[in-house]
Structure formats: structure tokens, C-alpha cells
A and B are shown apart, each in its own frame.
Chain A
Amino acid sequence: MAKREYLKPTTLHEAVEILAAAPGRRIVAGGTDLMVYIREGKEAPAALVDVTAIPELNGVQKLGDGALAVGAAMTHSMIGSDPDIRAVAPVLSDASSSVGAVQIRNLATIGGNVVNGAVAADTLSALAVLDAAFLTFGPEGEKRYTIEEFFLAPGKTAVGVGEVLTKILIPAQPGASHAFIKVARRRAAAISRLAVSVIANPDGGYARIAVGAVLPKPGRITPAEEALKEGFDLAAAKAAGEAAKAHVLSISGERPSMVYKLPVVSSAVEKAVIKALSLREVK
């Protein structure tokens, strides 16, 4: 293998300068995806730029309005055990806790999950229902993206070359109940076949539902949300599941795997809603 440089900037400005200084330099945080790509020959960056030592990318800040700014270099273990995140966004705590196994959660970061934009990334459905936004820093300074602006296509995000994802902004969710469900072949170290995130607030009259791994990019399923708002009860939960199934079919189309996926989508969405609203016990 060619000798690659390993660079570790300690400020955002330094990181942006280093990234711009030569072509083919690649940001790395946990490296749990990138190291596999390098091993497989899918990526051959000229240098690795480790962004985990940059203060802005670490820790959780509480913002004035009850919102949180989560550092992009926080690992899934840190997110899963952070009390402030658990209080505001339990759906994200649970999604991060479902990523890989312990060793992966101790390495892999939320920023990596977001920036790689893999359709099966475990946290993306959670970030969609939380209505999260993304802050980056690049040659043109700070930028803010909504989730719709951020994800363009499978594996493709709006983050430009030389731009660093710094924070994930999570608005306060007063009075809402959360649930996250993941379906995978093996509980540890398996990529999602399906992930479902639900936030529901019957008193506020709103519901947000998103599924991961069966759609080309993360996003909410409005028809399922509308169905749930009809009553926030068991019948509405079932209707939400059916609406989610129809939506997935309309976007992803008939393909052989749908024979398995569609019934799983409807039942997992129904189950996640029942879990969020504690309509009955869910295993």
C-alpha cells in the first residue's frame, strides 16, 4: 500500500486548510466505513484527515430553547449514554445504541453515519423524525442544511469537498413520545434491513414517522403520519402501517425483496407507533 499521510488538525480552520491544500485528502472520524472501503480498494485517499480532535465536533451543547447541538465526532456509545440526548431525543439514543456491536459503537460516529449517507444508516430515520438540521464548516464558512437539503441520493450528501460536518442540531420535542425499531439479520454488527422511528404527540396533534433502509434517502412518510393523526389509537396505528407500506411501494417499486419487505414495513411501523404511545405492551 502507498504511504499515506495521517493528519490531525485541532481547529476547524486548520482542518479546512489541510483539506484544501492537496487533492484526494479524505476526512476520517471513527473509520469504521472508510477502513473497509480502503481495504476493499473502493477508496484510496492520498491522506487521512482525522477530525476527532476538533473541539466543535465533540460534546453536546444545550441551546437556549431546549434544543441540542450534538458534536459530529461523538461516538454512538457516547450518544447512547448521554443523559441530555436521552431527555430530548430518546429515539436517537435508541438508534445509536442499535448500531453494530459494542466495539463499533465505541468507534463509529454520528457524523460518519450522516455524511456517508448510506440508505441503511441506523440513525437517519431518527434524525428525520427529530427534524434535525446539520451545521458544516468549509472554505465559505459555516452552513446550515435541513435534512431535505442534506441528503441528495443514496450515498450522496450536499457536503462539498473540504467541508466538515460539525454539529447535528436537534430541536426540543416537548410532550412527545418516541420509539425506534430495527429489523436486522443479526442483532449485533448487522446492517438494518429496516429501521422505523416514530415521534408522536397526541395532545399537540402531530406525528412524525420515518423508515430507514427501504427508501433511497431518509425522509418522513406523510401519509402514515396523517393516518396516525386520525385517532392515535390501535386502529390508527394499523392504518399508519398500511400507509407506510403503500408509500414504500410507490417510491421503491416492485422488486423481488418487496415480498418480504412490505409486510415487515407495515407491521414494524404499527409496532413502533404502539410502542411510542404505549397503546399496549410491545416486546
Chain B
Amino acid sequence: MFVEFTLNGEKVSAEISGETTALALLRENFDLIGAKEGCGVGECGACTILVDGVAVNGCLYLAGKLDGREVVTVEGVGGEDALDPLQKKFMEHGAVQCGYCTPGMLLSAKALLIRNPKPTLDEVKVAISGNLCRCTGYTPIVKAIMAATEEGK
């Protein structure tokens, strides 16, 4: 099957087979390796990407469903010269240790802030509850996200 979609603002297309996941397509065809495979079964959130502005598990998302949609990966958020407020606050608060969960954490936070620019602490925790972190610890991550929301006020 042939799919056409918008990837980090650019029109792209790819030939895929039925069981191809969005995660495999992004990493293998487009060299976007920010989204990671952690568990591969939708429990850890390391593969989180945004499709039409909502967070989904890239490891479960069939590439065939991407046709006509808008995809954002961590590579499409901010950039070295113009960091997203979330990225700045992750750095300031030491919310990145090994970095494996970070792209997913950033995108889950991004999806929340798109919908709800001034979330409560509980709303932040719910938004990242599908993202496991095993080394940084959730406290600095939650603090960074809360700080990024204050930035936007």
C-alpha cells in the first residue's frame, strides 16, 4: 500500500506492507530515530508520536492508517536553534538522564499543552502516565512540564 502524509511539516510518501508500524516506517524509511521501541506492545510510551495532534504508540500504530494525516515526531518539535519551551525546561530541570524515554515524554507533554495550555499537576501526571521512565525519575520531568506551562502564561 502507498501512503502519503505530512511528516514534521513536509509532504512525504512511502510504500508499506500491511503490518508495518508507524514506528518502523519513521525509523527505517525516514531515519527519524527519536521515537524508540521500548516494550513494543504499547505499555512504555518510548515510541510516542503525535498523529493529528494526539499522542499514540508508534509501535502499535499501523502505517496504513497514516494516509492523509499529520505526523509530528520529536525531530519536528523545536530544534537546536529554537528549542521548544518544553525542551528548554527539560534541560534546566535535569529531566533527561539516559534519554530513552525523553522523546516520548516530550511529545506526551506537547499533546497535553496543545489541548490544555495551563494544566494542573494531576493533569500533567495523567498525560505522561503512559510513558515509563526507569532512570531520570518522574519528579524532574513533572517539574519541567509544569515550568513550561508557566512559561506559556
Contact = CB atoms under 8 A, between A and B. Distances in A.
A9 to B, nearest CB: 12
Contact of B42 (A4, A7, A32, A38): A32
Contacts of B42: 32, 35-36, 100, 103-104, 189
A63 interface: no
B35 to A, nearest CB: 12
Contacts of A38: 19
Name the prevailing secondary structure of the B interface residues.
loop
B111 interface: yes
Contacts of A106: 54-56
Contact of B130 (A1, A50, A188): A188
Interface residues of B, number: 31
Contacts of A30: 60
Interface in B45-69: 45, 48, 54-57, 59-65, 67
Contact of A48 (B18, B40, B60, B108): B18
Given A102-B129, A104-B42, A35 B65 contact: no
B25 to A, nearest CB: 12
Given A48-B62, A189-B130, A104 B57 contact: yes
Q: Which residue among A30, A35, A100 has the maximum number of chain B CB atoms within 10 Å of its CB?
A: A35
Interface in A30-80: 30-32, 35-36, 38-39, 47-48, 50, 52, 77
B19 A1 contact: yes
A101 interface: yes
B130 A6 contact: no
Nearest to B67: A8
Contacts of B75: none
Interface in A79-138: 100-104, 106-107
A4 B17 contact: yes
A30 B126 CA distance: 21
Contacts of B61: 31, 107
Contacts of B111: 102
B41 A39 contact: yes
Contacts of A36: 41-42, 60
A48 B64 contact: yes
A77 B54 contact: yes
B108 A103 contact: yes
B17 A6 contact: yes
Contacts of A188: 126, 129-130
B105 to A, nearest CB: 12
B130 A100 contact: yes
Q: Which residue among A5, A6, A30, A103 has the maximum number of chain B CB atoms within 10 Å of its CB?
A: A103
A107 B60 contact: yes
Contacts of B149: none
A50 B55 contact: no
A50 B41 contact: no
A3 interface: yes
A187 interface: yes
Nearest to B3: A6
B56 A107 contact: yes
A132 to B, nearest CB: 26
B18 A101 contact: no
Interface string A226-269: 00000000000000000000000000000000000000000000
A28 B41 contact: no
Contact of B56 (A47, A103, A189): A103
B114 interface: no
A109 to B, nearest CB: 12
B126 A102 contact: yes
Contacts of B56: 103, 106-107
Interface in B62-88: 62-65, 67
